[in-house]
Amino acid sequence: MSEISEPPPHDMVGYTFVTRGRTISESDIIFHAGQTGDLYPLHLDAEEAKASPFGQRIAHGTLILSIAMGLKFDMSSTGRISYGYDRVRFVKPVFIGDTVRARVTVVQSELEERKLGYRRIVERTEVLNQQDELVIAVDHILMRWEPNRAAADRQ
């Protein structure tokens, strides 16, 4: 089997897209706190959060990161899987009622030398709020496999 020679257009360096938006609710924060065990008062206690520099409750950074990744895959193709994240930065807080979306740019796309038939893609992802302010920056690393090669690997 041959390796992938040309990536699909959405995996080529320079390809950019913007996802739809998603408004963050109090329920999102409560469910995330329960799922992760992160019960930090700045997320859950409105009175304590009022006394913070933010003046109100803020969403967990990991909640917003996971929502952004879900928004991204609404618009993505199949045949690839997340390999990890680099340079995750929680730049600004996200509040209940804020709407976030992701601006994604492919910054790297190359054949994986150690795994025949796979391509490593890095998507620079900028999560923006409704005022177009950057709230999270992250490089998302993905692996794409050539369908025929992946089937051959299973045999």
Domains in the chain: ranges and CATH: 9-154 (3.10.129.10)
Give the pLDDT mean for 14-32. 97
Verdict on whether the full-model pTM lies above 0.75? yes
Provide the token pair at 50: 């009022």
Instruction: Work out the angle between the directed axes of helices 61-74 and 26-36 (0-180°, nearest 10).
Output: 110
pLDDT of residue 151 exceeding 80: no
- Residues 15, 72: contact at Cβ < 8 Å? no
**pLDDT band at residue 117 under the 50/70/90 scheme:** confident
- Residues 85, 138: contact at Cβ < 8 Å? yes
**pLDDT band at residue 10 under the 50/70/90 scheme:** confident
Q: What is the full DSSP assignment across 79-127?
A: SEEEEEEEEEEE-S--BTT-EEEEEEEEEEEEE-TTSTTEEEEEEEEEE
Dump pLDDT digits (tens) for 70-108.
Answer: 998 855 567 888 999 999 999 999 999 999 999 999 999
Q: Is 103 left (phi over 0), alpha (psi -120 to 50) or beta?
A: beta
Phi, psi of 95 (to 5 degrees): -110, 160
